[in-house]
């Protein structure tokens, strides 16, 4: 399986560019997504299960790569099979990407969001503990924590597949190396996302990458309104129950879900047929069970789109082709395996989700829910939808994404509402990708000094709208950059202490974090759960 067999260096005017084929990006992305899952199988499962499941998943990925590579017809949404990557773009990525990862707090080398107190503990425990990770409460050194837990053990359960490769390096070379590898692994994922997006855009563009990182809803508008009327608010938290996080904010908080989730969404858009869509949905479940909910309707839509044939009135659905594309080994067997394995792991802890119920349960009045829902639709994706409507109004994938975002708010799971916060990941990213392509087009257009006045004004208006949306992510970047500078060069702040408020789920530093750990990460009586009883080592 050669990923680089289609990369070749060609001489261009005054420089050397690299020709990158869509096949190579598709293959590299599937390897990137599949390899950590196989490492999980061998690290966590009984050896016969590990071998069997790895062969099935690896075989499914191989067949998906083969199917993608052997078709010579026109690729949907990407007429160009090969793109030229200029040296200037490579240099740009080598400079900008580490800065973004650093500002995002990945690896905990700089200022981090509050979520990194558990992100650090996850990587630490995957490095320091034998797999499967099981905690003996006698190792707790904080007297208050030890007294509260008493004696006994608990297993660790979470969607931690993204950390498997850094943790493997950490077991050999130590925690510091694991943190460095985590940064590199995250960077590789973002590069693959950029490459895939570039094929959908039909060319590499540095502006596309920047706008993709900065994409967000128009959170600044309700934020300012809340400040004016005296309502307690934060940049992203202007709505207590219904919200979608911007791309950079997701990198800051849930890189383990967002990076693979974006990449899987890209592969779904690149897919030439429906024969491997089940594999993509299964891989999404490995990294984020919530994001799987949001991408499922898009997978169904893609199956239907790839099963249409030319008819008298345009394209019509061919049931025979649909059934043939749907019931393939790659669509059926790998998803069943990951659904069983990871479904049993995730449900081993029945208390992880917390509050749940229909959304109206959490509002005092129907009017309050109606107002929040309207704000959610307008500011999170509605304005962007108006901008891209003319270009993509005939795209069923867009309307499937919009429909998903309209329906997701009906139910709430967890205090933070992971059901919509992460369930919206794939459909929101699709809308964001379409919007970013439009913004990039206008950015490139505005660089033309000979552009007629009407087009110049329209292009600058689109860029201004992007600036409004980017206000919040740019502020996050400036904030984390400033705090990181103060951490390293002054004594004004020390965010490292906050990152280590937990340290390890097996040795919790601050008693205040015990409830979070017990609720989200501990599996009591794990020996009686199906995962640890029948599948785990």
> Distance between CA 33 and CA 285 in Å, rounded?
11
- Kindly state whether residue 431 falls inside one of the protein's structural domains: yes
- Kindly state whether residue 397 falls inside one of the protein's structural domains: yes
- Kindly state whether residue 3 falls inside one of the protein's structural domains: no
> Distance between CA 342 and CA 36 in Å, rounded?
13
What domain range includes position 285? Answer: 8-535
What's the predicted TM-score (pTM) here? 0.92
- Kindly state whether residue 385 falls inside one of the protein's structural domains: yes
- Kindly state whether residue 210 falls inside one of the protein's structural domains: yes
Q: What is the DSSP string of 307-360?
A: TEEEETTEEEE-HHHHHHHHSSHHHHHHHHHHHHHHHHHHTTSTTSS-SEEEGG
- Kindly state whether residue 249 falls inside one of the protein's structural domains: yes
Tell me how far apart the terminal alpha carbons of the chain are, to the nearest angstrom. Answer: 30
Per-residue pLDDT reduced to its tens digit, 146-199 = 999 988 999 999 999 999 999 999 999 999 999 999 999 999 999 999 999 999
**pLDDT category, 431, cuts 50, 70, 90?**
very high
Per-residue pLDDT reduced to its tens digit, 106-151 = 998 888 888 888 999 999 999 999 999 999 999 999 999 999 998 8
The domain tally of the chain equals 1
Torsion sign over Cα 163, 335, 260, 26? positive
Per-residue pLDDT reduced to its tens digit, 277-316 = 999 999 999 999 999 999 999 999 999 988 876 454 557 7
Per-residue pLDDT reduced to its tens digit, 219-251 = 889 888 888 887 777 777 777 788 888 999 999
- Kindly state whether residue 241 falls inside one of the protein's structural domains: yes
Residue 7 has pLDDT above 60, yes or no: no
More reliable by pLDDT, 505 or 7: 505
- Kindly state whether residue 2 falls inside one of the protein's structural domains: no
Q: pLDDT value at position 1?
A: 42
Q: pLDDT value at position 115?
A: 86
Q: What burial letters (b/e) apply to 160-194, b meaning 16+ CB within 10 Å?
A: bbbbbbbbbbbbeeebeebbbbbbbbbbebbbbbb
Provide the mean pLDDT of the chain. Answer: 87
Closest-CA residue to 213 (of 262, 257, 267, 265):
262
Span of 249-263, 482-496, 520-534 with lowest mean pLDDT: 482-496
């Amino acid at each position: 399986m050669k990923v680089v067999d289609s990369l070749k260096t060609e001489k261009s005017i005054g420089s050397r560019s690299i020709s990158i084929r869509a096949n190579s990006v598709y293959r590299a992305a599937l390897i990137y997504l599949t390899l950590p899952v196989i490492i999980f199988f061998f690290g966590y499962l009984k050896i016969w299960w590990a071998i069997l499941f790895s062969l099935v998943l690896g075989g499914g990925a191989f067949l998906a790569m083969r199917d993608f590579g052997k078709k010579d017809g026109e690729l949907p949404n990407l007429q160009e099979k090969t793109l030229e990557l200029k040296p200037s773009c490579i240099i740009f990525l080598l400079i900008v990407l580490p800065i973004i990862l650093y500002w995002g707090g990945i690896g905990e080398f700089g200022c981090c969001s509050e979520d990194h107190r558990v992100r650090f503990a996850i990587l630490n425990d995957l490095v320091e503990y034998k797999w499967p990770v099981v905690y003996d409460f006698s190792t707790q050194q904080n007297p208050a924590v030890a007294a509260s837990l008493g004696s006994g053990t608990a297993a660790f359960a979470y969607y931690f597949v993204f950390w498997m490769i850094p943790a493997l390096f950490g077991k050999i070379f130590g925690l510091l190396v694991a943190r460095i590898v985590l940064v590199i692994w995250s960077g590789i994922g973002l590069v693959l996302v950029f490459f895939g997006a570039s094929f959908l855009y039909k060319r590499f563009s540095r502006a596309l990458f920047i706008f993709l990182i900065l994409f967000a809803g128009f959170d600044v508008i309700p934020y300012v309104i809340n400040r004016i009327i005296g309502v307690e608010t934060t940049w992203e938290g202007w709505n207590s129950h219904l919200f979608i996080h911007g791309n950079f904010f997701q990198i800051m908080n849930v890189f383990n879900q967002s990076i693979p989730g974006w990449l899987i969404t890209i592969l779904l858009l690149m897919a030439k047929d429906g024969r491997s869509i089940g594999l993509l949905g299964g891989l999404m479940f490995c990294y984020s069970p919530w994001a799987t909910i949001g991408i499922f309707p898009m997978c169904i839509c893609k199956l239907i789109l790839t099963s249409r044939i030319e008819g008298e009135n345009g394209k019509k659905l061919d049931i025979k082709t649909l059934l043939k594309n749907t019931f393939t080994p790659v669509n059926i067997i790998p998803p069943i395996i990951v659904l069983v394995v990871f479904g049993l792991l995730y449900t081993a802890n029945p208390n992880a989700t917390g509050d749940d119920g229909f959304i109206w349960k959490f509002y005092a009045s129907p009017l309050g829910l109606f107002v929040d829902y309207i704000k959610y639709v307008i500011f999170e994706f509605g304005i962007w939808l108006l901008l891209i409507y003319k270009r993509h109004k005939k795209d069923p994938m867009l309307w499937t994404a919009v429909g998903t975002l309209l329906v997701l708010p009906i139910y709430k799971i967890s205090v933070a509402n992971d059901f919509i916060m992460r369930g919206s990941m794939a459909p929101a990213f699709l809308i964001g990708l379409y919007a970013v392509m439009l913004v990039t087009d206008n950015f490139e257009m505005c660089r033309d000094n000979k552009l007629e006045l009407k087009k110049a004004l329209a292009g600058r208006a689109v860029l201004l709208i992007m600036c409004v949306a980017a206000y919040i992510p740019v502020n996050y970047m400036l904030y984390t950059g400033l705090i990181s500078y103060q951490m390293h060069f002054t004594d004004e702040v020390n965010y490292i202490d906050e990152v280590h408020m937990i340290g390890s789920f097996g040795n919790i530093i601050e008693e205040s974090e015990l409830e979070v750990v017990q609720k989200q990460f501990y599996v009591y009586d794990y020996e009686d759960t199906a995962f640890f009883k029948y599948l785990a080592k």
